[in-house]
Amino acid sequence: MEIDGRTKICGLIGNPVEHTLSPMIHNTLAGRMGHNLVYVPFPVEQGRVAEAVAGADALGVLGLNVTVPYKSEVIAALKETDALARRIGAVNTLVRAAGGYKGYNTDMEGLYRAMAGEGIPIEGEQIILLGAGGAARAVAHLCAVKGAQKVYMLNRTLNRAQTVAEEVNRAAGREIVCPMCMEDYGRIPEGKYLAVQGTSVGLAPHNEDVVISDAAFYEKVHTGFDLIYSPWETKFMRLVKEHGGKAFNGLKMLLYQGIIAYELWNEVQVSEADAEAVYGKLREHFR
């Protein structure tokens, strides 16, 4: 594309940002949809998030994505926050508004679209959720909002899982999340479950790491969804498949959270053909 005086700017703030695939998503969409827009990553030092948001506003930046470690910290710098992002306590997308930015969380809607696209239901499901950090906390809220029957949240530190469970259960108005220690997975009732791997364990280059390796655990899993997308197939995914389940990685979640952000910034609807074209480019990155 040719950059000129009318080019709109979007970007990503976080630390680090050098590894990001988001420019591939947004610049490909802009090219396919004929938008005069460019997307660039902006590394932001600790303690300077508010300055970065104010500077972006002063420069007329159309929108920003926010990645670790600033998804919660950035909220204080915003003019307004969407109800879902407020409930989750994390923002990953800033949309320009009068006098500042409004914050959204497109991660969870991105995960929901990715799972729906693969034919993975949440409503009425019994779910095992590994982890209680920021990503897993957001997944727990999503499960409550989308009507899951029960979520067994397994975490190395029980009190962290208890804190998240209390928060989600209070917001949901029902006892949906059951907090447990990671090693107590054997106490989960017999049955077949959707398991979501919400920790960073197994992230490249630690490809052979996994939070639970016991075959008895994977016998309970009919479908495994790992939020990690690098490596392409995590050990968690391999173990799910070895025990007869289906397994998916987080690349389509990355794709759809980006697409939803792009739609918010540009007030457009991205077609499935454009979504598939971007996914093809992302997939090539791992071949």
- Domains of the chain: which residue ranges? 8-105+254-285, 109-249
d(Cα 193, Cα 178) in Å, to the nearest integer? 14
Matching CATH topology for 8-105+254-285 and 109-249? yes
Place domain 109-249 in its CATH homologous superfamily: NAD(P)-binding Rossmann-like Domain (3.40.50.720)
With vertex at residue 103, the alpha carbon angle to CA 89 and CA 35, rounded to the nearest 5 degrees, is: 140
| The pLDDT of residue 287 is above 90 | no
| The pLDDT of residue 134 is above 90 | no
**Token code pair at residue 127:** 């779910």
| Whether the Cβ atoms of residue 92 and residue 66 lie closer than 8 Å to each other | yes
pLDDT tens digit sequence for 10-45: 999 999 999 999 999 999 999 999 999 999 999 999
Mean of all residue pLDDT scores within the chain: 96
CB contact set of 156 (below 8 Å; sequence gap of 6+): 181, 182
φ/ψ of 94, rounded to 5, equals: -110, 130
Rg of the chain's alpha carbons, rounded to an integer? 19
Q: Domain 8-105+254-285 falls in which CATH fold?
A: Rossmann fold (3.40.50)
Q: Which of 8, 71, 146, 241 is catalytic?
A: 71
In this structure, what DSSP letter does residue 77 have? G
Greatest Cα-to-Cα distance within the chain, rounded to the nearest angstrom? 62
Mean per-residue pLDDT, 219-224: 98
User: Is 71 assigned a catalytic role?
Assistant: yes
Which residue's structure tokens are 């389509």? 252
pLDDT band at 281 (very low <50, low <70, confident <90, very high): very high
Element (H, E) at 9: strand 8-14
pLDDT band at 258 (very low <50, low <70, confident <90, very high): very high
pLDDT tens digit sequence for 162-183: 999 999 999 999 999 999 999 9
Is the whole model's pTM more than 0.75, yes or no?
A: yes
| Whether the Cβ atoms of residue 227 and residue 197 lie closer than 8 Å to each other | yes
